[in-house]
Structure 1
Amino acid sequence: MAKTLRFREDGTFKIVQFTDPEFATYDMEEQQMESMMLRIIQTEQPDLVVFTGDIIASASTPDPAAAFRRACSVPESLNTPWAAVFGNHDSEGIITREQLHAMQLTYSHNYAKPDPPGVHGSGNYVLTVKGTDGENASALYFLDSGSYSPLEYSRMGFYDWVRRDQIDWYARESYQLTNSNGGTPLPSLAFFHIPLPEYNDVWDFSVCYGERNAEFCCAPWVNSGLFAAMIEMGDVMGTFVGHDHGHDYWGNWHGIRLCFGRTTRNAYLDKPFAPGARVVVMHEGQRSFDTWLHLEDGTIQSEQNRHEPEGRTPKIGAMGLR
C-alpha cells in the first residue's frame, strides 16, 4: 500500500524537525532526551517527523544498529510518519549510511524512499504532499550532505558538500514536478545535515532571527551550487539543517529562508541552551510557512531575537570540527 502525505482539511501540514540527537548509550541523558522527543510529538501532533542527521553517534557505541533502532522507535511508537537524512557522525563507526538508509526503509511509518541510481550518497529522495483535491501541492526534498571533505588535508578540507550529480538529480525531480503542475513550481522545503555556505552569508549580510553561538557556521569550504540551483528552479522556499548544535537562527537569503533546527541533544556550550525541536507548518497553496521552537521544558518560542548584519572578518584559521 502506497504511503501518502496530505495537507489537513484546514490546509496545513506540520513537520517536527529533530536534529543531532546522537543516540549512542542508553544512559539517563539519552532516556531523558527520548522522553522529551515523545512529549514534543504528542503535543505538536505533526504530520511528519524529520531527523536531519547525526541521528546516532556511531563511533561512540559498540552497537550503532541498536542505537539507530532506538531513534526510529520514537516516532514509530506513536504511529507518526517520519523520514531521515544522515550526518557526519552517523557513519563514523562500524555501520554505513547505506545500511542505515536500508534500515529506515523497513519501518512501517517511515516515508523515505530507496536511493535513485547513480546519485552520490545515501538518503536522497523527494516526497510530495497531496492537497485537498488529491493533487500534488508541495514537495519535500531530502539530500545527503555527506560527512568529511575528501580533501581533508588540503586547502579545501573541512566538511563535505552536496555533489554535482545530487544537484542534477534535484533539478530533474523539480522540473518534473513543475511540469506536471502546469509549469508552476510546487512550494517546497529541503532537508539536509550540513549547512550550505550561504548560511554564513545570510548571518553576515542580512537580518536573521535566533542565535549563532560561534563566529561562523560549519559549512563546507566548497560551494557546489545547490543554493543557486534552488533559486533557478524556483520551488524551494526554505531549507532546514542541523550540524551546529549551538545555532538555531534563520534568515531570508534571496527569497529562500535558511533555517537551523534546534539541537535535540546537548549544545556543548558554556551557557544555558535548552534542547528541543523546530516545528514547521506549511499552508496549502501558499509559498510561505510558519516556524517556531519547542523546547525541552515545553516552552514555545515563536519569536527569536533579531540580529542585524555586521559584515564579515575572515577567521578560517579559527575553524574547528563539530
Structure 2
Amino acid sequence: MVPRLDLRTPGQIVLKSLNDRTLRFREDGTFHIGVFEDLHFAEDDEKDEKSKEVMSYILSEEDIDFVVINGDLVSGERTQKADSSKYIDSVVSPLVDQGYRWASTYGNHDSAVNLNPKDDMFEAEHKYPNSLTQSRVSGHEAGITNYYLPVFSHGQSNTSTPALLLWFFDSKGGRYYKKEGEGGPPVKRPSWIDESVVDWFTETNSKLKKEYGKVIPSLAFYHIPAHAMLEHQQTKGVDPHLTPGVNGERVNPQGTNLWRYDGQDVKFMNALLHTEGLIAGFSGHDHQNDWCFKWDGSLVDHNLIGNGINMCYGRHTGYGGYGNLVRGGRQILLHEGNLANDTETWIRLEDGSSQARVTLNATFGQDTYRAVSNDVGKHDSYAQGSLLPLAWLWVPIMMLSRWSM
C-alpha cells in the first residue's frame, strides 16, 4: 500500500498511511475537503475516461485531505446487474491510484431496477481500505449512506474529542431494485431523507454533545438539495455578487422527483436548523447550479425561519448526465481555530481556473464578491449568476430526462 505525501507545510513531508482511517486536521490547523458531484459513470466509456481525467486533474491542482463523492456516482439505469460493481471500481480508481480516502452519499441515480445500492455499490466500495463510507441506519425506507465521521485535531487519537463532525445522508430517489425474475414496472423510491434517519440524526447528535460535553462544529452532505434552496431562488433570487456562482436551472429539491411536493423534507430542514454548530449543508443533483446561500431570518420556508446555516451546491464533475458547464468540483477549506467564521469554499474547474471563492462567515450573504465568469459551454446561453428565458425552456426537457431515469 503506497502512502500519500502531504506537502502543505514547507520543508516538511508527512506520510499518510491508508492503514490509519482516522481523519485529522493538519499541523497548521487546516482540513481540505474536495467534493466530486454527479459523476454519472456507466453511460459510455469515453465519458467515464473524461470524468476520471477531471477528478485526477483536480486532485493534482488542489491540496486535498479528504474526498466526498456526493451522490449519483453512476447512472444506474445504464448498468446491468452483472457489471454494476465494475463501475464503482472505475469511479474510485483516481482516488485509489493516488491514495486518497473518501466517503460517499448515494443519489437518485444510484438505485435502479438493475442496480442494488447495498450490494452493488456499498459492498463494492468496501473492498477498498480508502473508503470510509458507512451505513448506520437500518430500515427499508432509510436508504444506505446515513452516518457520520469525526475529524480530530492534529496528533490526536480517535478516542479524543472530535474537532469536527461530517454528517452524510441518503436522500434516495430513483427506482427500487428488483431481483432477477420479478415482473412489473419500475417502482419509484421516495426522494427525501426519511423520518427515521432524521430521528437517528437528532438523537445521535444529542448523545455526542452529552458524551463530549460540548457542541462540535459540523458539516452535512446530501445529494438532493433542501427545499429552502428553491425558496431562496424564487423569493430572494441568487445575487451574482453576494452569492456568486452559476444559477442555470430551477432548484429541484427533495420530494419533487415525480412526487407532488408536500413538505417531505421539512423534518430534515428543521433538524438542520436545530443542530448547534452546523456550518453548512452541501448538495448537488441540479447540474446547472453551483451557488451557495445563507439561510438567515429573512427567509421563511414552511414556517421554518433560517438561523444562518449556509447551503451550497457542488459542481457537476462527471461527463455523464445532462448539462454543459465546464466540469469541476467544490473545495472546502476549514480552519480549526475558527470553524464558524473562517470556512472557505470555491469551485475548481477542469480548465485550470477557480471561481466563486467565498468565506462562510457571519457576514456571508452581505459581503460583495466578483460575479463568476461565463464558463459554460460555448453554445450555451446562461448569464453570469442569472436565469435567462432559454434556460427556463430547457428545464422541462431536463426534468423529463431526469424523471425517465
What's the TM-score once normalised by structure 1's chain length?
A: 0.86
Q: Is the 8 A contact 2:356 2:371 kept in 1?
A: no
Secondary structure in structure 2 of the residue aligned to 1:103:
helix
SS of 1:31's partner is: helix
CA contact (8 A) 1:15 1:281 kept: yes
Question: Is 1:129 matched with 2:161?
Answer: no
Distance change >3 Å, CA 88–CA 38, structure 1 → 2: same
Deviation at 1:26, TM superposition (A): 5.2
Is the contact between residue 211 and residue 305 of structure 1 (CA under 8 Å) also seen in structure 2? no
**Residue in 2 that maps onto 1:40:** 58
What residue in structure 2 maps to residue 311 of structure 1?
Answer: none
Correspondence 1:1-322 to 2 at 5 A:
3-25=21-43, 27-62=45-80, 63-99=83-119, 100-118=121-139, 120-132=142-154, 134=156, 135-148=161-174, 160-183=191-214, 185-206=215-236, 208-220=243-255, 221=261, 222-253=264-295, 254=306, 255-266=308-319, 268-269=322-323, 273-285=325-337, 286-288=339-341, 289-303=343-357, 305=371, 320-321=399-400, 322=402
SS at match of 2:229: helix
How many percent identity over aligned positions?
Answer: 30
Q: How far does the alpha carbon of each residue in 1:253-295 deviate from its partner, in whole angstroms, 9 at most, with x for none?
A: 03111100000124734xx520110001111142141100010
Q: Deviations over 1:168-203 (max 9, x none)?
A: 1111221122223323x2111111111111111222
8 Å contact kept, 1:20–1:263: yes
- SS at 1:83 equivalent: strand
What amino acid does structure 2 have at the position aligned with 1:136? P
Cα distance in structure 2, aligned partners of 1:8 and 1:113? 24
Q: Is the CA contact (8 Å cut-off) linking 2:245 and 2:371 kept in structure 1? A: yes
Cα distance in 2 between the residues matched to 1:83 and 1:215? 28
Instruction: Please tell me whether the aligned partners of residues 25 and 67 of structure 1 are also in contact (alpha carbons under 8 angstroms).
Output: no
What are the ranges of 5 or more consecutive residues in structure 1 without an aligned counterpart? 151-156, 309-316
Change (3 A) 1:159 1:246: farther
SS of the aligned residue for 1:67 comes to: helix
Give the Cα–Cα distance (whole angstroms) in 1 for the partners of residues 340 and 154 of structure 2: 16
Q: CA RMSD in A?
A: 2.7
Partner of 2:316, secondary structure, is coil
SS of 2:206's partner is helix
Structure 2: distance between partners of 1:65 and 1:278: 26
Per-residue CA deviation, residues 223-251 of structure 1 (Å, 9 max, x unaligned), is 34212112112132111111111111110
| Distance change (3 Å), C-alpha of 1:293 and 1:24 | same
**TM superposition shift of 1:205:** 3.9
Aligned-pair CA distance for 1:69: 1.1
Task: Report the secondary structure of 1:14's partner residue.
Answer: strand
Aligned residues: 307
Question: Does the CA-based 8 Å contact 2:168-2:222 persist in structure 1?
Answer: yes
Between stretches 210-219 and 103-112, larger displacement belongs to: 210-219
SS at structure 1 position matched to 2:163: strand
Shift in Å, 1:165: 0.7
- Give the number of the structure whose alpha-carbon radius of gyration is greater: 2
Q: Which residue of 1 aligns with 2:4?
A: none
Please state how far the C-alpha of 1:116 moved relative to its aligned partner: 3.2
Quick one: structure 1 residues 217 and 25, their matched pair in 2 at CA, closer, same or farther if it must change by over 3 Å? closer
| Gap change, CA 1:170 and 1:2, over 3 Å in 2 | farther
